[in-house]
Structures are given as structure tokens and as C-alpha cells.
Amino acid sequence: MTNDELKESLLMSSKNGYTRISAEDRQEMEAYCQRYTAFIDSCKTEREATAWASAEAERRGFRPLSAGMEAKPGDKIYLNNRGKSIILAVVGTRSLADGANICAAHVDSPRMDLKPNPLYEDTEIAYFKTHYYGGIKKYQWPTIALALHGVVYRKDGSVVTVTIGEDADDPILVISDLLVHLAGDQMQKPLAKGIEGEQLNVILGTEPLQGEGSDLVKLNIMKLLNEKYGLIEADFLSAELTIVPAGRCREVGLDRSLLGAYGHDDRVCAYAELDALFAVEHPEKTAVCILADKEEIGSVGISGMQSQAFEYFMGALCDAQGVNLRDCFAHSFCLSADVSNAFDPNFAETCDRRNNSMLNYGVAICKYTGSRGKGGASDASAEAMGHVRTTLDNAGVIWQIATLGKVDQGGGGTVAAYMANRNIVTVDAGVPVLCMHAPMELVSKLDCYETMLACKAIYQA
């Protein structure tokens, strides 16, 4: 055997996905990315993603979970968890005692939430005070176009949906930054201190109401909100209003190979799961898709992945089949679909090039996340990694291996550990992202498409 032959048979050689993707898949990829773009343009919060998924599920014959309902092969069932997260299932031909194939993603993204008492006027400028949600670099958020999204529960019990800043003729909102001419002191600060949390105040207006009085700019803004939405100031006390980047997902690069948008983390995996699930008709094992809330702040709360809402849903399906929920979990598999960090040559020193995901190399499989000595990681077993490797290879999915940065550089986590804690074998996988958690994140079209194919393969494993 020559060395070349030996190399071919013994060593790995990873190749750019564009050298491996078929012409047919290349076309499918574009169509898929157009569907994804439409989704992410209309879903910038967990509520919007949950509402979108519920409506689409209904349209495709899914029925809401109800007491005493059956769970027969082919049945399509979903649970809208209080408008903030959603779980969907296509019931398999095999019993739930044999386990389910689960894909779990999250639909919340870093942003700035309004404080409970947000509206104020300072020096005849009206502002909203915000509290950032999730991990953000605060300096990235001033001087960009922002939009207001959310819901308000009014005193009469009615719920108003608010969206300002997305239509072409809407005004946008902006946070100011200091002019460079006077920024000598600011520019000497570390990046983390250049803009402080209490400076993330959003400009709402500057025109005072006519007549006598104080805070007339603020009063004018409240009057405008009252005319458009029927709101009074006290309604902010029972509201979930959030500030997100305004604007749409755009193709990026002269070759249009990337998609730039707010909130790819993790709606790019959430959509992959959904699109794949909608294509599954009669899986052997029950296919389950979860779009969870609150991942960016620890997967806590009633709509987070640690919530018993998942047991409630799966327990109801198991009850319908006379199966013990614990048996179902013990035989289930979960792909925790969350984004990974794509290798960025601009910051090469933060990663181990040999073990990092790369743009266009396909869906990134991650054995462990965590920080320091794998602290907080689920750390999938050899068997679990083997199951994913075999399943994806057999389905012809383009995939790669991923770790989150070089050792001791930092770290992070996903919902994987919370699924594994339920006695469900779990592996992390997702789309590599450049500038994760920034107002604009970048992903490759090819990786988006392959992640959807990976979810489909897992559902049908």
C-alpha cells in the first residue's frame, strides 16, 4: 500500500460542504433558506416563534393536547405552553415504551427587556429604561436601529400585541452613544465598561405637548401609545415588552452564501427542527420537537427546559398508551439543537482550530460544552456520539465536530444537561455562528440546511 492509500484508509479528511453537496441538495438548500428567512423575519421573540409554530402546526393537522386524548400512530399533537414555548409530537408506529426521538432547541434570544416602570423624561427627551436579557456585549447595542416587540395585559384583561419599528414607514428606536470627540475617558475603559447597563436607555421622543406642565415630552409619548394601543402608564406593570434589532434577515457576502440576522441563536435550529418534523409522517419511534424559552438565562421558569411542562406533555402521551413515562425517557434519544461558534480567523487565538466548527462544513456535533474542566457539561458518551455519527452518515448528512473555544478560554452551556438529567441520552448539535449574541449574527446557508437534514435523520432513527 502506498502512503497515499494508507492515508486515505486511515486518516480523516474533512472537506468543505460545497465540495460534497449534490446539485439537487444545493437547490433544496436555497428553498429551505428562503423558508427560514420568512420565519426569522416574523419571529424575533419566543412568543412570536411559539405563535408561528402553533399556527403552522394547526394548518398541518396537529391538534392541541387535551385530557384523555388518544396517541395512535401518525397522530400529530402539540402543547402551546402559555404562549412562550411549544412541544410537538408525531406519534410513532412503535410504543412510547421504546422511547422517543427528540430534538430540543430554544426560541429566546439575547435582547433588552423594558423595566416594569420604564417610561421617563430627562432634559426634555423621553426614554424607556431597559434591563438586558441574556449575555450581550453592551457596546454593540447603541446607534443601531431597534424595534419594540411584545404584549401588554391591560387592566380590563385584554392583551394587546405591540410591534413598532419593523414596517418600512414605522419609526425605529435608538440608544445613543457618546461622540468620539468627547470620548477620551470612555475609550480608555475596558469594552465591558464602555457602555453600562443603566445607559441602555432607548430614545422615544423629543416633542413636548402644547401647554403648561412638566414632563410634557413623556406625556406626549404616553398619549401616542394610548391612541395607538389604548395603553396607560400603569399597563407597563403587566407587560412583556422587549427591544430587539429592527430589520430583516439579509443575504451576506457577494456570493450570498451567508445569512445575517438577529436571533439565529437559536431560532436557526428551532426552525430546522420544525421544518424537519413537518416532513415526518409515520416515524417508527415518536418524533418530538421542543422549542423552549429562557435558555439564555439558565433554562429556568415555567417555560424553560427545566420546567415540568415537558413531563406534563410526554406523560400525557405515555398515559394514552398505558406506558410508564420513566420507561419512555430511559429509551429516548435527544438531539439538543443549539448553535456553536464558527471558527473566526479574526479571533483565531480563542479557539483550537483542530476541534472547532467551521462555516460550510455542515451541522456541528458537540460532545461537550461547559467551561474550565468541562464544568456544567452534559458530555455525551462514546455510545451516544456513535449513534449520531452512524445515523447522520447513513442519511448522507454533512456534519463536523465542534468544541466551544480553546481550553480555559470561556465556555457556555445548552439545554443538553437538562435533558440528560431526565435520564435521556443527549448529544449537542447545531449551526455554527459568527458573532453569536451580537445584534447581527451570521450563519452559512449550507450549515442551516444540513442541520435540518440532521434533525430529520434523528426523528427517523
Stretch of residues binding Mn ion (CB under 5 A), selected from 80-88, 257-265, 276-284, 340-348: 257-265
Q: How many helices (H) and strands (E) does the chain have?
A: 12, 23
Q: Which is nearer to Mn ion, 128 or 141 (CB)?
A: 141
Q: Which helix (H) or strand (E) holds 48?
A: helix 46-59
The minimum distance between CB 107 and Mn ion, in angstroms, equals: 10
Stretch of residues binding Mn ion (CB under 5 A), selected from 187-195, 330-338, 357-365, 421-429: 330-338
Beta-sheet pairing, 441-444 with 363-366: unpaired
Q: Does 235 bind Mn ion (CB under 5 A)?
A: no
Number of other residues whose CB lies within 10 A of the CB of residue 232? 11
Cis peptide before 266 (omega within 30 of 0): yes
The minimum distance between CB 105 and Mn ion, in angstroms, equals: 8
Burial class from Cβ neighbours inside 10 Å (0-12, 13-18, 19+) for residue 263 reads buried
Taking 3-state DSSP, the helix, strand and coil percentages for the chain, each rounded to the nearest 5, stand at 35, 25, 40
Q: Does 266 bind Mn ion (CB under 5 A)?
A: yes
The minimum distance between CB 219 and Mn ion, in angstroms, equals: 38
Which long-range CB contacts under 8 A does 177-180 form with residues at least 24 apart?
Answer: 177/139, 177/142, 177/143
The minimum distance between CB 69 and Mn ion, in angstroms, equals: 32
In 314-424, at which residue ranges do the beta strands (DSSP E only) sit? 333-337, 340-341, 363-366, 370-371, 399-402, 411-412
Q: Which is nearer to Mn ion, 106 or 422 (CB)?
A: 106
C-alpha to C-alpha distance for 461 and 92, rounded to whole angstroms = 11
The minimum distance between CB 395 and Mn ion, in angstroms, equals: 24
Q: Which is nearer to Mn ion, 90 or 112 (CB)?
A: 112
Residue nearest to Mn ion (CB): 266
Task: Tell me the per-residue interface mask from 166 to 185 with Mn ion, x by CB under 5 A, - otherwise.
Answer: --------------------
Among 48, 75, 108, 338, binds Mn ion (CB under 5 A): 338
The minimum distance between CB 370 and Mn ion, in angstroms, equals: 14
Stretch of residues binding Mn ion (CB under 5 A), selected from 77-85, 125-133, 183-191, 338-346: 338-346
Q: Using an 8 Å Cβ cutoff, are 317 and 97 in contact?
A: no
Q: Which is nearer to Mn ion, 296 or 450 (CB)?
A: 296
Among 108, 235, 265, 450, binds Mn ion (CB under 5 A): 265
Residue with cell 465540495: 19
Q: Which helix (H) or strand (E) holds 312?
A: helix 309-321
Q: Which is nearer to Mn ion, 48 or 235 (CB)?
A: 48
Q: Does 344 bind Mn ion (CB under 5 A)?
A: no
C-alpha to C-alpha distance for 324 and 331, rounded to whole angstroms = 11
Could you tell me how many residues of this chain bind Mn ion (CB under 5 A)?
3
The minimum distance between CB 291 and Mn ion, in angstroms, equals: 12
Give the sign of the dihedral formed by CA 336, CA 414, CA 260, CA 108. positive
The minimum distance between CB 415 and Mn ion, in angstroms, equals: 8
Residues found near Mn ion in the complex (CB under 5 A): 265-266, 338
